[in-house]
Structure 1
Amino acid sequence: MIIFFLAWGFFAAFGIMLLVMGVQKLLAIVMLVYLSLMAAAMICSTLLFGVKVDGDSLKLRTRLGRKYEFTLSDIRKVVCSKNSSIKYGPRYTVIIRTDDREIELMKSMKGFKEMCGYLLDRHSAGELAASAISKNCAATLKKYSQEK
């Protein structure tokens, strides 16, 4: 996200410079409109996504604004994964799977630690199916929820 806005800022400054200098005004206007639309789409998708917990119900709003709701008993599998990338480094995710939905939560998201703790607590309380979280995933969730 930071890389996107750095690149966006560079091209926006370039477009403004072209516009001020009077060179290629049409190109500068088209580029600035395009960059503004891209930035608005990135910001809106980030602001729209959300997960709320209300008792044993999870309410999800996707990046496109669609709303879904499911209960803890609908959760079939919780998968903890680590994907390594040369460019971005390790990326830790928790994937919550139901019969017809899949939610991917990344460690960089606000509330990730709390959600890991919530899933672990509900699993140990028996509200989640025993097979929903493996022993390795439970250990990973515990590690995530205790990080500072």
Structure 2
Amino acid sequence: MSLDRPEPSATFPLLGREEADVFARFAKLVARSADPTGPSSEPPPLQPNWSASLDLIRDVGHRLRETQRRSDQMMRNALEIAQKAVTAMHEAEERAQLAEAEAASASARAQAAESELEAMMRRQREPGEPLITEVDQWLRQAHRQLQQARDARTDL
């Protein structure tokens, strides 16, 4: 090893040889940059390239506008999808309410028919009351109409 460069493991005893070497180089670089009398290894200042800078600014502006347009379009699409979903949800809710009302109506009709059937069954069980069924009523009505028709023929 050269005399101006210390042994890396002596400078940083807890690190391995490779890690210590990197840290030693970094320490040397920092020491050189802190020493203003050392040789200047800075490159000469660059001349600004205004046309390339303007092109870069235009390109960035164009990309920003394009990104904004795309994000606006995505937002409009998302809003449209959300509105369709809300509309579909409201329609489904209305259909569910109508179905519920129809079910309640059908249930009420079924209960009324069941009550009527129970009342008729109670009447049939009572011994003193004559049993008149719907068929009996229909037959009696048909018989009366036949008699009226026969009487109307005989009157002619």
TM-score tier by shorter-chain length is: under 0.3
Structure with bigger helix share is 2
Structure with bigger strand share is 1
Greater relative contact order: 1 or 2 (C-alpha under 8 angstroms, separation 6 or more)?
1
Give the TM-score taking structure 1 as reference length: 0.24
Q: Name the larger-Rg structure.
A: 2
